[in-house]
């Protein structure tokens, strides 16, 4: 599976890659030289909206895609090019905040995150996903309805791109 490095302008794209289980390095602080160095060292595909950076990437042998358009266009074009299925599933996702991999906590383990979520949330859900790196907690709550709706929209756009 390809891994990615995403420039600072494309934060939403990084989030959608992570939600669909892809390793996407993203930092708002990394400058161009650093992005190119990390892409080379870790064999990551660079996604950027900056034509100059894209040319530099080509010169140093970094695989790169120049991503343009609205957020929806960005997501659909990258997913289409790299064969990414618009299917966000918490059991496959990476942490949207730090790109860490998530640990699934079953009901008997969920006490570990008791102090990290509101009591109501804790009592209502049985399955939680926990990022060991930044201690973020994810659960299959109402936000997944929106996530799934957006993924359906992206699926439609991909279909349009590919016909």
Interface positions, 27-46, toward Zn ion (CB under 5 A) = none
Does residue 24 touch Zn ion according to CB under 5 A? Answer: no
- Figure out which of the listed residues 64, 100, 110, 157 binds Zn ion, where binding follows CB under 5 A: 100
Q: Does 131 bind Zn ion (CB under 5 A)?
A: yes
Instruction: Give the nearest distance from C-beta 116 to Zn ion in angstroms.
Output: 12
Six-digit token pair at 39?
A: 């892409």
Tokens, residue 55: 């040319």
Q: Which is nearer to Zn ion, 51 or 98 (CB)?
A: 98
Stretch that binds Zn ion, among 14-22, 117-125, 133-141, 146-154 (CB under 5 A): 133-141
Q: With binding defined as CB under 5 A, does residue 60 bind Zn ion?
A: no
Asked whether 7 and 38 are in contact (CB, 8 A), the reply is no
* Binds Zn ion (CB under 5 A): choice among 134, 141, 156, 161: 134
Longest dimension (CA), the chain: 54
Is there binding between residue 14 and Zn ion (CB under 5 A)? no
Please give the full DSSP string across 44-64, using - where no structure is assigned.
PEEEES-HHHHHHHHHHT--E
Neighbouring residues of 15: CB distance < 8 A, sequence distance ≥ 6: 96
Asked if 95 touches Zn ion (CB under 5 A), the answer is yes
Binding Zn ion (rule: CB under 5 A), the pick from 51, 60, 98, 116 is 98
What residues contact residue 50 under an 8 Å CB cut-off, 6+ apart? 7, 9, 32
Q: 118: exposed, middle or buried (C-beta count within 10 Å: 0-12, 13-18, 19+)? A: exposed
157 near Zn ion, rule: CB under 5 A? no
Exactly one of 34, 42, 73, 133 binds Zn ion (CB under 5 A); that residue is 133
CA dihedral 64, 80, 11, 143 (to 10 degrees): -160
Please give the residue ranges that form the binding site for Zn ion (CB under 5 A): 95, 97-98, 100, 131, 133-134, 136
């Amino acid at each position: 599976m390809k891994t990615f490095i995403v420039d600072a302008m494309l934060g939403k794209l990084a989030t959608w890659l992570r939600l669909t289980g892809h390793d996407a390095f993203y930092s708002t602080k990394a400058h161009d030289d650093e992005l190119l160095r990390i892409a080379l060292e870790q064999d990551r595909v660079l996604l950027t909206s900056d034509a100059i950076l894209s040319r530099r990437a080509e010169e140093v042998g970094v695989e790169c895609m120049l991503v343009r358009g609205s957020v929806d266009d960005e997501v659909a074009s990258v997913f289409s090019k790299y064969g990414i299925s618009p299917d966000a599933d918490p059991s496959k996702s990476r942490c949207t905040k730090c790109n860490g991999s998530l640990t699934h906590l079953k009901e008997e383990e969920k006490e570990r995150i008791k102090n990290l979520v509101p009591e109501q949330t804790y009592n209502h859900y049985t399955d939680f996903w926990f990022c060991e790196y930044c201690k973020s907690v994810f659960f299959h709550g109402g936000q997944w309805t929106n996530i799934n709706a957006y993924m359906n929209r992206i699926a439609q756009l991909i279909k349009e791109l590919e016909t």
